[in-house]
């Protein structure tokens, strides 16, 4: 029997997590290394010499005396939580197969629900910003998808009320297997929306395969080739080979989100979609999820609660 490559990879155990990042000092050293891989540099004057004010976790420049906090300007800014709790949260969220709810996070790391919720949103924000900066390339299956709305009796299919439209795209390797996915909320399936999305999320010269929905031809504005396959609609169109992967992923993301979260606020859907994609795109890299995430997290700008709460449905 051939073992499933994703399921049987070594991964990273809780035991290793506690060994490597079990104390504040270890976590601080890790953040320092991710933030300043070439060694400390004063953000004010560029000087490399500093002394550490350990009690307040500050680094003071020897030349201009400017004090820099390890977490200022990062997604961790102003947190009052021990870094060990952050690292545990990141570990749980990046290693989980389908996701970890704020409620479960609250129990597992021992914080209030509000704190767990905002940690979770911040961690998902890092994932979103990371993948937003990595366009898909090669051969890409593209389809329109919708979140919610089915149970309220609205009409099915495109343009129904109470549904949030999102773009689903899967890039394939030469063997036709999925490499990376991107799912992005759009205001609607219109030419300008698809054009905007494609310019950010597709590498020029990629080949995009979609059904006959007119707006998809806008990928050409992002300098991509477009192959439109008219499916004729109906259930049989879903099983067309050209769209197998993208349809599978749309099914998977819906199951993952509804299976993990009791209810999600629609305005935060972009982050939940991004979380699913981020984890999927790194499914072969469980072992170094934490350092890879950490490196990006210290480069992700702070996200105060009021920003997290803002409607960001189309971000």
CA distance 52 to 58: 6
User: Closest CB to Zn ion among 45 and 311?
Assistant: 45
User: Closest CB to Zn ion among 18 and 32?
Assistant: 32
The reply to whether 14 sits near Zn ion by the rule CB under 5 A is no
The reply to whether 64 sits near Zn ion by the rule CB under 5 A is yes
Calculate the CA 273 to chain-centre distance: 7
Packing angle, helices 113-132 and 102-109, rounded to 10 = 120
Residue 80 near residue 71 (C-beta atoms within 8 A):
no
Please identify, among the stretches 34-42, 202-210, 265-273, 297-305, the one whose residues bind Zn ion according to the rule CB under 5 A: 34-42
User: Closest CB to Zn ion among 64 and 227?
Assistant: 64
User: Closest CB to Zn ion among 42 and 168?
Assistant: 42
User: Residue 277: which of 179, 209, 147 has the closest Cα?
Assistant: 179
Please identify, among the stretches 58-66, 181-189, 209-217, 242-250, the one whose residues bind Zn ion according to the rule CB under 5 A: 58-66
User: Closest CB to Zn ion among 63 and 78?
Assistant: 63
In the three-class reduction of DSSP (H, G, I as helix; E, B as strand; rest coil), residue 51 is classed as: strand
Q: How far is the CB of 46 from Zn ion (least distance, A)?
A: 7
**Parallel, antiparallel or unpaired: strands 207-210 and 139-147:** parallel
The reply to whether 45 sits near Zn ion by the rule CB under 5 A is yes
The reply to whether 66 sits near Zn ion by the rule CB under 5 A is yes
Which residue intervals of 96-173 are DSSP H helices?
102-109, 113-132
The reply to whether 42 sits near Zn ion by the rule CB under 5 A is yes
Count how many residues are written for the chain.
315
Cα three-residue angle 293-297-298, rounded to 5 degrees: 125
The one among 24, 25, 44, 288 contacting Zn ion by CB under 5 A: 44
The reply to whether 51 sits near Zn ion by the rule CB under 5 A is no
- Residues 44-83 as b or e (16 or more Cβ within 10 Å = b): eeeeeebeeeeeeebbbbeeeeeebebbeebbbeebeeeb
Site size for Zn ion (CB under 5 A): 8
The one among 17, 27, 31, 61 contacting Zn ion by CB under 5 A: 61
Residue 11 near residue 95 (C-beta atoms within 8 A):
yes
Q: How far is the CB of 44 from Zn ion (least distance, A)?
A: 4
Please identify, among the stretches 26-34, 41-49, 51-59, 275-283, the one whose residues bind Zn ion according to the rule CB under 5 A: 41-49
Which residue intervals of 9-82 are DSSP H helices?
14-21, 24-35
Q: How far is the CB of 49 from Zn ion (least distance, A)?
A: 9
Q: How far is the CB of 259 from Zn ion (least distance, A)?
A: 50
* Most distant CA atoms of the chain, gap in Å: 70
Q: List interacting residues with Zn ion (CB under 5 A).
A: 42, 44-45, 47, 61, 63-64, 66
């Amino acid at each position: 029997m051939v073992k499933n490559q994703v399921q049987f990879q070594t991964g990273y155990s809780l035991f290793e997590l506690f060994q490597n990042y079990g104390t504040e000092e270890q976590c601080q050293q890790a953040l320092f290394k991710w933030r300043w891989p070439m060694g400390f540099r004063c953000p004010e004057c560029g000087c490399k010499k500093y002394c550490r004010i350990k009690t307040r976790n500050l680094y003071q420049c020897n030349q201009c005396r400017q004090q820099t906090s390890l977490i200022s300007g990062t997604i961790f800014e102003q947190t009052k939580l021990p870094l060990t709790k952050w690292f545990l949260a990141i570990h749980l969220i990046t290693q989980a197969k389908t996701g970890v709810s704020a409620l479960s996070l609250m129990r597992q790391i021992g914080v209030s629900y509000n704190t767990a919720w905002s940690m979770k949103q911040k961690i998902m924000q890092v994932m979103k910003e990371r993948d937003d900066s990595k366009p898909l390339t090669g051969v890409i299956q593209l389809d329109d998808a919708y979140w919610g709305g089915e149970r309220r009796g609205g009409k099915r299919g495109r343009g129904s009320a109470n549904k949030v439209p999102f773009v689903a795209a899967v890039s394939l390797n030469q063997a036709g297997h999925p490499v990376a996915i991107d799912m992005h909320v759009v205001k609607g399936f219109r030419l300008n929306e698809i054009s905007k999305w494609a310019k950010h999320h597709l590498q020029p010269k990629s080949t995009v395969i979609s059904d006959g929905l007119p707006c998809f031809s806008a990928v050409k504005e992002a300098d991509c080739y477009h192959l439109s396959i008219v499916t004729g609609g109906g259930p049989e169109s879903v099983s067309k080979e050209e769209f197998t992967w993208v349809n599978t992923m749309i099914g998977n993301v819906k199951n993952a989100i509804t299976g993990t979260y009791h209810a999600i606020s629609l305005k935060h859907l972009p982050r939940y979609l991004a979380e699913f994609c981020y984890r999927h795109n790194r499914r072969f890299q469980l072992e170094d999820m934490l350092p890879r995430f950490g490196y990006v997290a210290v480069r992700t700008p702070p996200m105060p609660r009021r920003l997290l709460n803002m409607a960001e449905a189309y971000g």
